[in-house]
Amino acid sequence: MQLWLTISLTAAFVWYQTLSLGEENPLFPNLPAKHTSVYFLTSKNLIMRNLTILLFAGLAFVIMAHSSGAGAEQDKDRTGGPAADGFCSACHSGGDFAATVNLTLLGEAGDTIEQYVPGTSYTMRVEVTGTGASGFGFQAVVLDSDLASVGTYGNPEAGSRITEVAGRQYFEHNATSSSGIWEIDWTAPDEAAGDLKFYFAGNAVNGNGSRSGDRPVHDSLLVAQDQTSSLKSMTDFALRLGPVPAHDFLRIDWNDHAQPEQLEIRSVSGQMVYAVDLNRSARTASVAVATLPQGVYVLTLRSPSGLQSQRFVKH
């Protein structure tokens, strides 16, 4: 509708612009020019001024409605999450691009983060795809269990921005993207906030200047808090690991008071790579680590009285 409005206004503007005093005009084709020149003398400037205002207002509306995020232009959460007022399909629909949207949290080495450590910085990456689409947009927010937005954003790249809606911080596009990929630094909250939920929506558009023929999609991602980061080490476990660095196996020892029920090994990004239930009367265990890739890992013993974790290096 906005596109047809702009075309109509443009055509009308050009049509009136071509009128000149003293010429036969299409409004009064059967009257001499001298009878109609006074009419156009008093009205042409007013008509042209109003048409100019309408024309540029229409153009501005079209541009604003289709190039920026819902937060900045509508003051709306359109992620599809629990704090959202619907999602992008409230305005955009009808497209068939097999669209997808994904959000990934990346560590310093580019590894995918499944558990966050409070106060640690990560790269938030949003990607929208759609076969045959001419452009893409998105909106994302990170919420805790109280539906408060958490974490701190870095400086957004060109084509994106941080927008506040209802006291929450949203990462969204401010210009249609041809790649459909946006990245920004995001730092987890300093204090333990528990599991966090990332809500995000993307839109694959056909570029026709209206809201028809677009394909919006939305999804969410749960990122758990690394539990070892918020609990104090329990020294009465007397946890000992060796040899370090480990090559083929890792021996673990603990004292009589520990009585652990489970042993876990995770990568520093939080991915579980090994877990085994233990006999609470045991005081030692041996784990084969030869197949683990080289790197740093976190071993955790869990017992009814708490847990203790310790890092080790695998060569």
The pLDDT tens digits for 131-159 are 999 999 999 999 999 899 999 999 999 99
Task: Please give the angle made by the CA atoms of 232, 233 and 234, to the nearest 5 degrees.
Answer: 110
Q: What is the CATH number of the domain that holds 146?
A: 2.60.40.4060
pLDDT at 227 over 80: no
What pLDDT score was predicted for residue 228?
64
What pLDDT score was predicted for residue 213?
78
Nearest residue to 150 via CA among 110, 182, 118, 127 = 118
- Tell me what percent of the residues of the chain surpass a pLDDT of 90: 46
Burial of 170 (0-12, 13-18, 19+ CB in 10 A): buried
Highest mean pLDDT among 52-61, 169-178, 227-236: 169-178
Q: Are residues 190 and 250 in the same domain?
A: no
Amino acid, res. 10: T
Q: Are residues 161 and 292 in the same domain?
A: no
Query: Once rounded to an integer, what is the mean pLDDT over residues 278-297?
Result: 92
Q: Are residues 40 and 58 in the same domain?
A: yes
How far, CA to CA in Å, does 91 sit from each of 29, 70, 108, 111, 181?
45, 10, 37, 36, 22
| Residues 174-187 pLDDT 10s | 999 999 999 999 99
pLDDT at 240 over 60: yes
Q: Are residues 151 and 197 in the same domain?
A: yes
| Residues 101-128 pLDDT 10s | 999 999 988 889 988 988 889 999 999 9
What pLDDT score was predicted for residue 50?
54
Alpha carbon dihedral 3, 4, 7, 9, in 10-degree steps, equals: -110
DSSP string, 266-287: EETTS-EEEEEE--TT--EEEE
pLDDT at 15 over 70: no
Q: Are residues 14 and 83 in the same domain?
A: no
Instruction: Evaluate the omega torsion of the peptide bond into residue 189 and state whether it is cis, within 30 degrees of 0.
Output: no
**Which residues are bridge partners to 262 per DSSP?**
277, 302
Q: Please indicate whether residue 266 or residue 64 has the higher confidence score (pLDDT).
A: 266
Q: Are residues 19 and 152 in the same domain?
A: no
CB atoms within 10 A of CB 116: 26
Q: Which structural domain range is residue 280 located in?
A: 231-314
**Which residues are bridge partners to 80 per DSSP?**
none
Task: Indicate the pairing of strand 212-225 with strand 93-94.
Answer: parallel
Domain end (from 227, 246, 265): 227
Query: Once rounded to an integer, what is the mean pLDDT over residues 66-71?
Result: 63
Confidence band, pLDDT 50/70/90 cuts, at residue 173: very high
Domain end (from 181, 210, 227): 227
Q: Are residues 122 and 235 in the same domain?
A: no
Q: Please give the Cα distance from 215 to 205 (Å, whole number).
A: 6
Instruction: Please answer whether residues 77 and 168 qualify as being in contact, where contact means their C-beta atoms are separated by less than 8 angstroms.
Output: yes
Q: Are residues 220 and 235 in the same domain?
A: no
Nearest residue to 19 via CA among 36, 2, 5, 32 = 36
Burial of 209 (0-12, 13-18, 19+ CB in 10 A): middle
Confidence band, pLDDT 50/70/90 cuts, at residue 303: confident
How far, CA to CA in Å, does 300 sit from each of 10, 67, 73, 311?
69, 48, 48, 9
Q: What is the CATH number of the domain that holds 274?
A: 2.60.40.3080
What pLDDT score was predicted for residue 230?
53
In the 8-state DSSP scheme, what is residue 79?
Answer: B
Domain end (from 48, 66, 84): 66
Q: Are residues 19 and 143 in the same domain?
A: no
Q: Are residues 15 and 93 in the same domain?
A: no
Average pLDDT, the chain: 79
Instruction: Please answer whether residues 281 and 254 qualify as being in contact, where contact means their C-beta atoms are separated by less than 8 angstroms.
Output: no
- Domain total of the chain: 3
Q: Are residues 160 and 239 in the same domain?
A: no
Task: Indicate the pairing of strand 100-106 with strand 93-94.
Answer: unpaired
Q: Are residues 46 and 75 in the same domain?
A: no
In the 8-state DSSP scheme, what is residue 136?
Answer: E
Provide the CA 243 distance to its chain's centre, in angstroms. 43
pTM of the predicted protein model: 0.58
Query: Once rounded to an integer, what is the mean pLDDT over residues 64-85?
Result: 77
